[in-house]
Every structure is written in structure tokens, then in C-alpha cells.
Structure 1
Amino acid sequence: MEKRYSEYSYGELRSEVALLKEKALKAEQLGMVNEYAVYERKITMAKAYMLDPEDFDPQTEYEIEGDPAHTFYIEYLNGVFAWGYRKGITGERAGKKEEALPISMIGKRIKE
């Protein structure tokens, strides 16, 4: 039975990310778009477990990796997930639903 990322050591997570990057590269080269996307999501999750949730502050706005058109306002953290909502360029909330992002997708803190 496979271990969960939460059970991996930091070294095991680094090895897993390297392996997944190789697989993603191979899938991309073979034109397997869906498989590539799955590996990218797995890499994002593994990287989230390599970070410390304590480094992210609730009630704070951050950049989102890969989404320059939005920022992310963290309402609270639950494990390696930041719960909150996206904000558009104008500063208004984008969408009505609360969402969760792995903390590996959270970028730099927006200065207030």
C-alpha cells in the first residue's frame, strides 16, 4: 500500500518530486496532456508537504503561483491547504465560493 505524502520524510518528498518531474517531462514529450497534468498536480501536492504552514498567515493576501491576474486572501489554514478566496486586479473578490489551495501554490505576501 502506498504511503501518503504526510507520512513521507523531507528527503523522500524531494525524491518523489524529482521522480514525478521526470515522469511529467516524459508525458509532455509523448504528448500525453492529461497524464502530464496529473503529474503536475502530484508535484504541487508533494511540494506542499515540504513547506511549513506556520509560514503563512491567515487574514493575509498573497500572490498565486501561475495566476498573475489574481491574489489569494487566506481566511484560515487546515493542514497544507490555505482556505480563502481569489481577488481580481481591482481588489474585488473573484467568485462567491471559498476555495482551498495547496500552500505550494501560494506566492509572496502582498504588502499592506
Structure 2
Amino acid sequence: MDTEKHYSEMNENELRSEVANLMEKARKAEQMGMISEYAVHQRKATLVQSYLVDPATIKPGEMYRIEGDDGVFFQVDYLKGLFAWGYRLGGEKAEEALPLAMLKNIKSGK
């Protein structure tokens, strides 16, 4: 019987392979017009990519760009697991959690 590994147990190559597999599934779902399935695979790929992010590179109190949401910035308050908790600037300051892979350093440019 084939037992699936948890993402936390995978090495970098396995994680990258899983991301590629999920992106391919998302592409196929999009081609078939299955928008909900496309979104599920995209989100899952983002979570898997978060395992590849070193949490030490995300600093509480710092501001980050949000991948896929141009012109929107996210203020990180704290980290918990694969998520950064904080709020979007210019919004209602409602606390939310974003996967680490969605955050891009402002200093590195677009």
C-alpha cells in the first residue's frame, strides 16, 4: 500500500515536484472550465511553496507585497506555522493570515 508523505516530511525536490504537479492539475482544470478545481489546486500549490520559504526571512513589523495582488501591501504582526498574520494596508485593518509564499519583499522589487 502506498502511503502519502506529509508535506512537512518532504525534501526540497519532492516539494518542488509536488508544486509542479499541482500547477499542471490547475492548468488542466482551467482548460476544462473547472474554475473551482483550478482555484483549489492553485491554493494548494501556494501552501506547498510555503514549505520552501525560510520563516526567518519574514520579519514581524515589516511590510511585504502580496503575490498576485499588485499594489497591495501586507503588514506582518506575527508568524504561526506556514502563515503570516497581519493586515493589508489601506484596508479595514482586519487581521488575516496569508501563506508565507504569498509574501514578497518590497526591497527586491516587483
Q: Give your verdict on TM over 0.5.
A: yes
Aligned to 2:83: 81
The count of aligned residue pairs is 106
Aligned to 1:101: 98
Aligned to 1:91: none
Question: How big is the alpha-carbon RMSD for the aligned residues of Structure 1 and Structure 2?
Answer: 1.6
Aligned to 1:60: 62
Aligned to 1:45: 47
Relative to the length of structure 1, the TM-score reads 0.86
Relative to the length of structure 2, the TM-score reads 0.88
Identity %: 53
Larger fraction in strand: 1
Aligned to 2:33: 31
Listed as ranges, the gaps of 5+ residues in structure 1 are 89-93
- Would the alpha carbon gap of residues 41 and 103 (structure 1) be closer, same or farther in structure 2, given more than 3 Å must change? same
| Alpha-carbon separation, structure 1, partners of 2:79 and 2:107 | 17
Listed as ranges, the gaps of 5+ residues in structure 2 are none
Whether the 8 Å contact between 1:63 and 1:110 is mirrored in structure 2 is no
| Alpha-carbon separation, structure 1, partners of 2:28 and 2:67 | 23
